[in-house]
Amino acid sequence: MVSERPRPMAPSRRNKIPVAVLGATGMVGQRLALLLSDHPWFELVELTASTRSAGHRYADVVPWRLERPLPGAIGALTVRETSVADVRAPLVFSALDASVAREIERPLAAAGHLVVSNASAHRMDDDVPLVVPEVNPDHLGLLGAQQRGGDGGLVTNPNCSTIGLVLGLAPLHRAAGVRRVVLSTLQAASGAGYPGVSSIDLVDNVVPGIPGEEEKIEAEPRKIFGSLDDSGAGGVIEAGIEVSSHTHRVPVIDGHLMAISVETDEGLSVARATELMASFRGEPQERGLPSAPSSLIEVVSAPDRPQPRLDRDAGGGMSVTVGRLRPCPVLGLRFELLSHNTWRGAAGGTVLIAETLVARGCLP
């Protein structure tokens, strides 16, 4: 990854920012722990989980299920309770379930922490930015109103499917205006956490209708592609994009695949769409952030790609891969898109937001 612009806020090795991970024993918490065990700017110093796990060594309570081993130094950390009193780090990553997130994320922000959350609890709140750093980093401006003079704040990372979808649509939307989208997802088991989906349901089987997922995929892009309300009222004016999603769980460990048909205001040839996607980059690429993939959208030409097992790790799991770009006889354009649901779609996306905040000088 090459960036010509200087990294304005790169903390030095000596002076890493201490960070906490809330809900560290789940699948997303595990990815966050792995990612932060070796981050150039952040130092993972606190892990929290439920009361049952608190007080134990992380290695002793986490059902580690990642393909790489648990780093020893992280495993040795003592798990804390998920409470305002137990968290000290100025920068907090939340991988909590929505119900727990709803209770603690606002109080943590009020107590001065900058909380970057993967939970769905507050994503659609008026004063909370819902951010994909390459797409709508300007929404981080909502933090100002939210903080009202204090230091803390709450920023949210979208649903794992939304992120891939929005990254694929963004270059088309900017150039031609996305109006309507019909998509089907083939989503990995890790998206349901651990233990999540029973093996009985995913051997010789796929399952349609992931609970709560379609609503998020259809609502979140409207906010992400929306514009900041500069009338003084605050909040985001949602974009008029109509999305219809069909969701499915498939026997794949990691990587959400989506079959997407798109209608745009202005016509887009396959060649133009390919060019727009392949050249798309955003603030993270401009700033050369540590987690930003240099090639954001990998456009591939093989007729049977992208595939989850072969393509999910593109760009260290932070790129999305697009294939089968071709005309759609109904909506105009169609393609397949793959993104790693626990890297780009969760842990990595959350960390990239934090890196953007640091680079923008938003951290106290």
Nearest approach, Cβ of residue 87 and a second copy (Å): 28
Pick the binder of a second copy from 18, 40, 144, 195 (CB under 8 A). Answer: 195
CB atoms within 10 A of CB 265: 11
Determine if 76 is a binding residue for a second copy (CB under 8 A).
no
Determine if 257 is a binding residue for a second copy (CB under 8 A).
yes
317 close to 340: Cβ distance less than 8 angstroms: yes
Determine if 331 is a binding residue for a second copy (CB under 8 A).
yes
Determine if 259 is a binding residue for a second copy (CB under 8 A).
yes
- The piece of 112-120, 146-154, 197-205, 355-363 that touches a second copy (CB under 8 A) is 197-205
- The piece of 117-125, 144-152, 225-233, 250-258 that touches a second copy (CB under 8 A) is 250-258
Near a second copy in 102-161, by CB under 8 A: none
Buried b or exposed e, range 7-26, using 16+ CB within 10 angstroms: bebbeeeeeebebbbbbbbb
In sequence order, what are the residues at sequence separation of 6 or more whose Cβ sits closer than 8 angstroms to the Cβ of residue 181?
165, 169, 221, 241, 242, 243, 244, 260, 261, 262, 263, 331
181 close to 260: Cβ distance less than 8 angstroms: yes
Distance CA 180, CA 243 (A): 6
**What are residue 175's phi and psi, to 5 degrees?**
-85, -35
Near a second copy in 25-54, by CB under 8 A: 27
Pick the binder of a second copy from 310, 316, 360, 363 (CB under 8 A). Answer: 310
Nearest approach, Cβ of residue 65 and a second copy (Å): 5
135 close to 171: Cβ distance less than 8 angstroms: no
Closer CB to a second copy, 151 or 218, in the complex = 218
CB atoms within 10 A of CB 254: 22
Closer CB to a second copy, 83 or 184, in the complex = 184
- State the residue for tokens 């580690």: 64
Nearest approach, Cβ of residue 81 and a second copy (Å): 25
Would you give the end-to-end CA distance of the chain in angstroms? 28
Closer CB to a second copy, 158 or 332, in the complex = 332
Closer CB to a second copy, 133 or 308, in the complex = 308
Determine if 77 is a binding residue for a second copy (CB under 8 A).
no
| Cross-sheet strand order for the sheet of 320-328 | 242-246, 178-186, 256-264, 332-339, 320-328, 297-299
- State the residue for tokens 């779609």: 345
Q: Which of 122, 139, 160, 362 is catalytic?
A: 160
Distance CA 188, CA 65 (A): 14
Clarify whether 113 is annotated catalytic: no
Q: Which helix (H) or strand (E) holds 72?
A: helix 72-75
Closer CB to a second copy, 91 or 322, in the complex = 322
- The piece of 115-123, 252-260, 264-272, 350-358 that touches a second copy (CB under 8 A) is 252-260
Clarify whether 139 is annotated catalytic: no
Determine if 272 is a binding residue for a second copy (CB under 8 A).
no
Q: Which of 122, 139, 256, 340 is catalytic?
A: 256
Q: Which two tokens stand for residue 126?
A: 């008026």
- The piece of 67-75, 110-118, 158-166, 170-178 that touches a second copy (CB under 8 A) is 67-75
> Dihedral, CA atoms, 354, 356, 358, 363, nearest 10 degrees?
-70
Distance CA 311, CA 344 (A): 13
Burial class (CB in 10 A: 0-12, 13-18, 19+), 38: exposed
Closer CB to a second copy, 169 or 197, in the complex = 197
Pick the binder of a second copy from 78, 199, 227, 269 (CB under 8 A). Answer: 199
Nearest approach, Cβ of residue 329 and a second copy (Å): 5
Catalytic residues: 160, 256
Instruction: Name the residues that contact a second copy, by CB under 8 A.
Output: 27, 64-69, 180-182, 184, 186, 189-190, 194-209, 211, 218, 242-244, 246, 248, 250-253, 257, 259, 261, 303-310, 313-314, 323-324, 328-331, 334, 336
